[in-house]
Structure formats: C-alpha cells, structure tokens
Structure 1
Amino acid sequence: MSMRSALLVVPFLAGAVCALAAGSVEGRVLPFRQVEVSAPVSSRIAELKVKEGDLVKEGQPLALLYGKLEELEMQRAKALLERREFEAKSAKRLYDNKIIPEAKAMETRIDLDLAKLQYESAAEQVRLRTVLAPLDGVVVTTARETGETVSAGQPLFRILDLSKVVVQLTVDADALGTLAPGRHVRVNLRKAAEPLEGRVTLVDPCADAEGRVRVRVVVENTDRKIRSGIRARVDWSDAQ
C-alpha cells in the first residue's frame, strides 16, 4: 500500500487528534508558551494593573501588593546606610591621620557592609510587592480581585504567548517518512484561505505503546489571529 493511500487510524489524544492520511495529519493548536503567575509573597492586592484580554510586555507590572510596612523598613535601612557611610568615611580619615587604630576603622567598614545588606534585603521585600509579567503575551485569566488577600504561591494570572503557535499531533511511526526537525510543512486552518508555513521542531525519538510518535510544528502568529485550541491539518506529503 502506498504512503499516500494508507489511512492511519489513531484514537483521540489530549493535544492531538486522529491522523487523516499518510503525510496529512490533523492536530490541535497550542500556545507557544504559557505561564501561571503567582503571588511572590503573602499580602493583600492593592491594585490590579491589567485585565483579561490585555497584551502585556515582559517586566510590565500586573498587580501591586500592599507593602507599606516594607516601604517604611526600606526607608529606615536607607537612613542607617547613609549614617554608616558617613561614619566609615570619617573613620578612614582618622585612620589615615593615625588618630584611631586599624581595628576601629575596620569595625566601621564592617558596620557599613552590614547596613548595605540590610538595605538590599529591605529593597527586595518592596520589589516583591510588584507582580511583573515574566513574558510578552496576552492575559487570559485574572484569578483574584483588588482587596483580596493572597498567599505566597497562589495563582494570580495566566498569560499566553501567541506570537507563535504550536500544532501538536501524533503520527504512526511507519508514516513519518522524511519528517524531521527543521523541515517546513503546510498548515491548514479550517477557515484559512491559504495554507500557512510551519516548521517541525520536534519528532519524539520515542514512540508510544501503539507505535505513535508525537510531533510539534511551530507556526508564526505575529498578528495573533490563530487561536489556541482550534484544529489544524499538517501536510508534509510533498513539502520541502
């Protein structure tokens, strides 16, 4: 039986659907990347900066957590640091003029180093009160509202990177042919007038118990018109 005429009967799997014919397989579209953003510390949500459907950039603030006490502690640590810096400079001048012993000058330097560590620790606690986007993407879920108390590690947002999409499918190992990572294939969406170009990024080196192999195809989606979750047909029967 020729490769073109052979039919592959593959049961439905999560993230993939049955193969249609050798060299033409239907799969499901997945986001290129997705991440669940959690609260870095236990606190209360003071302000939500984004809503569902918003496009965000990496490093953009998503939410502010209450942190008045932490801000006050940082101010105290900064004042102490400025004082230790002044004392260390004064001690150095006195030591250079042989007015105080080396041990006294060293003591002020150690106090200065400790003050720097205290300030950095306090500043980090303040920074943790701003929840930042870890990647470019679209906010698809906001799990909490302003005023709610959250625990460290509790989910706040889910962000999808749809600048590219992945078509995931399973193919009978005997029907893979020359399909290999780096190969360009055609990707047909149900409502698309023209096929899109995709690139194979993974052909799993291990088949499952039924002889099927997982394949992932990446398609550019800069305009974000391709939606996650829809079905797409991948054709490599005569793709280059």
Structure 2
Amino acid sequence: SVSLYKIAEKKADGSWQLMPEYQNLGIDVYELRQADIERIESVAKTQIPSQTMISNQNGITTFSNLEDAIYLVSKMGEPNLSQDFRASMTAFLVQIPKTESDGSTTNHRQINASPKCQIYTATATAITVNAEWIDHNNQLGKRPTNIRVILRKGNDYIGEQILNSLNNWSYTWLNLQASDQYNIQIVDEIASYTTSISDPDKTNEVWIFTITNTIKQSSIIVKTNDTFKMNEWLTILLVSVGIILVCFKNIFSVNNK
C-alpha cells in the first residue's frame, strides 16, 4: 500500500507553507533535497496519512479528491514479489497543481508519477553485529567487560558470540543459509544502560545489526564538592565586601570630623 501525507499547504498569497509538524525541521519548502525528504518521511510516519491506497495488479495506485497541497508519497511496508525478492520504493513529493519547469503554476491536477523502485533479494547469507556505547567513553566505569549475543533464524538457535574490546565489539557470521528470518538477541540485561537493536538494511546480503547501549541518567551521580567550594568562595567574597564597606565608612567619618 502507498500513503499520501500533506506536508505543505498554499497560503492566501499563493505561496507554500509547511504544515506545523514539519516547520521545526529547518528546511526550505522551495529548495527540498533528498535528505530533506527523508527527514520529512521520518516525521510523516508518526502522523495520520491523508489517504492510503493499495496498488492494483499492475502496480498502479490512484488517489482522488485531493486539495491543492504538496504531498509526500511513501510506501507502507515492502511488497513481496516472490519468496526470494522484495521491492523498495523511495519516497517522493507531488505538488498539486503542477509547477512547470519555468516556475509557472498550471491548472494540471492530474499527476502521473513513476517512483524510483529497487528490487532486491530478501535473504541474508552473512550477519554482522556491532555494539556501540554512548557513555562518555566509559567515564563512570559502568561498561561491562563483554556482552553475549545470540543469532537466531526465526526461533532456531544458530550460534552465540561474545563481544568485547578485543574484537572491537563486533562479530560476523559467514556462509549462512540464505534466509530472511535472522535476528539478534542479547543474553543478559546490561545494567545501567538502555539497549536497543537496530533493524538491518535488508537490501544487502550482509545484514548489519547495531546494538546501541546508552548510559541511564539515573546512573550519573552528580558530585557536590564543587558546590561546597562555591559556597566557601561566596562566603569569602561577602566577607571581603563587608570589609570594604567598613573601610569606606571609616574614611567617610574621618573626612567629616
């Protein structure tokens, strides 16, 4: 299925304005690049689409009764072409009404678009797992010496490996049976860290799973030594100011005698 997301609307003066949910992305609606479209798509996926339609048997999707706006066209999931192949579609923008190459706006509201699609094998024959640490280079000393990870194909156990600094927190399983069911699991919970495992790029035969370990804020203990030093410094400053005031008072008294 394919979804449309309204990302900009036309103002009374005819100019385009981004919808509120996209205004904090720091992008110019008149100079959108592919990187900007990817950022827009990441936000759009959290919104309710204007319309969602399913392609017919010829791969054609039709949207109708659309108001004048700029829309993001994005796929919902990745269609299966066969047991061994998948298709991915790159998100793109459509403007209604159409703008000609010279910048003029036409009354054309019937837009035909051909998205960029990629056909790829949906199976992997090698799996790489990397562990990354977001903990200020282990300043708190909470990072474990190693972590154990398990590779599974569906629910079937394939193998277990230890990741540590000696292997640069990385390991690759090679010459695996082609499958689209591989997944990575962590054996033990990592204390003091929040852990997430990214989905791999399945357009490659080598899938890369990244385990990101972020130190919990509750594990960061704020030292109070500096606070005491600051209090002592303020006390000295106040005492010094008091002495200066006394001196000025004495001088003033002498001059008036």
What TM-score, normalized to structure 1? 0.24
What TM-score, normalized to structure 2? 0.23
Higher strand content, 1 or 2 = 1
Greater RCO, CA 8 A, separation 6+: 1
